[in-house]
Amino acid sequence: MTLNIGVIGTGAIGKDHIRRISSNLSGARITAVTDVNQEAAQVVVEQYGLDAVVYPDDKALLAQADVGAVLVTSWGPAHEQSVLAAIEAGKYVFCEKPLATTAEGCRRIVDAEIRHGKRLVQVGFMRRYDSGYVQLKQAIDERLIGEPLMIRCAHRNPESGPNYTSDMAITDTLIHEIDVLRWLIDDDYKSVQVTYPRKTRHALSHMRDPQVVMIETRGGVLITAEIFVNCRYGYDIQCEVIGEDGIAKLPEPSSISLRKEGMYGTRILMDWKDRFIEAYDREIQDFIDSVKRGDVQGPTAWDGYVAAVTADACVKAQESGEWEDISLDEKPDLYESRTLSEA
């Protein structure tokens, strides 16, 4: 049985997911789309040759009985409303990060899912599906390096746009590390601090770039996370886990090496769409397969809540320069199962 999917937000990543569902993945098709820019949504239907209807808004799309699941790929501030409406309609929902732009909004979604009595939400933390991070987690789970003691990581973008702000380095960019690192070491966060090295001349005047975020986990692991969104040379994601008996490092993306004109080296990817293309395919295929099984297994609404609480503390630390504590509600039973989100 083919799963009929509706897409709420047909912009950059919405189109990318439409492309992968329509051409790469199996078991689903796009039958409904909506966007506040309906003309653009119609163009997407034609561009991708979809047998799909353009609906005026998320509520009209969610009212379609034949739509079995939805992707929320609109702007972050619009996510909470669409996810709550999907839960209300009893539809499975894949929501790109952030689940909601505030911890309170994420908590409202968690409470709605608890009232529904079954998990319907998967959050788009795709690094958990990246083969490099999966290998890293296997090494840690198998205690190949003993207990993790420290993590050094870096999230570097070639440049940030004019609308990108210093707090987005946390809420839009580091949110990926915030989620994947707690999954990697099966630990939660205790406190955070933000410091600022010398500013790069390549950052716009309103930006603070780079930034260094220190995170202490409840288990005592110390994480040093660099965010550098005007590094110029490429889209570069680094992660090194230092353990009692050794070090485990995220592999570089596979690439040919070139020897040419007295130089030797490999190319560095410039775009996140390319760096994590397989992870995006795997996360969406997992969503399709788990919806058809009737139980979503990926990153949960609770993971979205924890990420939002942690991001809020980081944004507070950006201004205070102090260590800021992270206090979480008690994890509800609905999220205790040992699945990908808890593996």
Ligand X SMILES: NC(=O)C1=CN([C@@H]2O[C@H](COP(=O)(O)OP(=O)(O)OC[C@H]3O[C@@H](n4cnc5c(N)ncnc54)[C@H](O)[C@@H]3O)[C@@H](O)[C@H]2O)C=CC1
Ligand Y SMILES: O=C1[C@H](O)[C@H](O)[C@@H](O)[C@H](O)[C@H]1O
Comparing C-alpha atoms, which of 207, 208, 189 is closest to residue 197? 208
Residues in region 52-111 near ligand X by CB under 6 A: 58, 73-76, 78, 96-97
Buried b (16+ CB within 10 A) or exposed e, 82-97: bbbbbbebebbbbbbb
Report the C-alpha gap between 133 and 263 in whole angstroms: 30
Quickly list H helices, 53-127.
58-62, 79-88, 103-116
Sign of the alpha-carbon dihedral angle for 261, 263, 264, 268? negative
Q: How many residues bind ligand X (CB under 6 A)?
A: 23
Chosen from ligand Y, ligand X, none, partner binding at 130 (C-beta under 5 to 8 Å by type): none
The answer to whether 67 and 31 have CB atoms below 8 angstroms apart is yes
* Among 7-15, 24-32, 48-56, 291-299, the segment contacting ligand X (CB under 6 A): 7-15
162 preceded by a cis bond (ω within 30 of 0): no
x-or-dash pattern for ligand X, window 252-291, by CB under 6 A?
A: --------------------x-------------------
x-or-dash pattern for ligand Y, window 266-285, by CB under 6 A?
A: ------x-------------
Sign of the alpha-carbon dihedral angle for 242, 247, 252, 254? negative
Exactly one of 19, 36, 190, 334 binds ligand X (CB under 6 A); that residue is 36
Chosen from ligand X, ligand Y, none, partner binding at 328 (C-beta under 5 to 8 Å by type): none
The answer to whether 116 and 90 have CB atoms below 8 angstroms apart is yes
Q: How many residues bind ligand Y (CB under 6 A)?
A: 5
Exactly one of 159, 167, 172, 216 binds ligand Y (CB under 6 A); that residue is 172
Chosen from ligand Y, ligand X, none, partner binding at 173 (C-beta under 5 to 8 Å by type): ligand Y
Chosen from ligand Y, ligand X, none, partner binding at 157 (C-beta under 5 to 8 Å by type): ligand Y
Closer residue to ligand X, CB minimum distance, 193 or 280: 280
Q: Which residues bind ligand Y (CB under 6 A)?
A: 157, 172-173, 176, 272
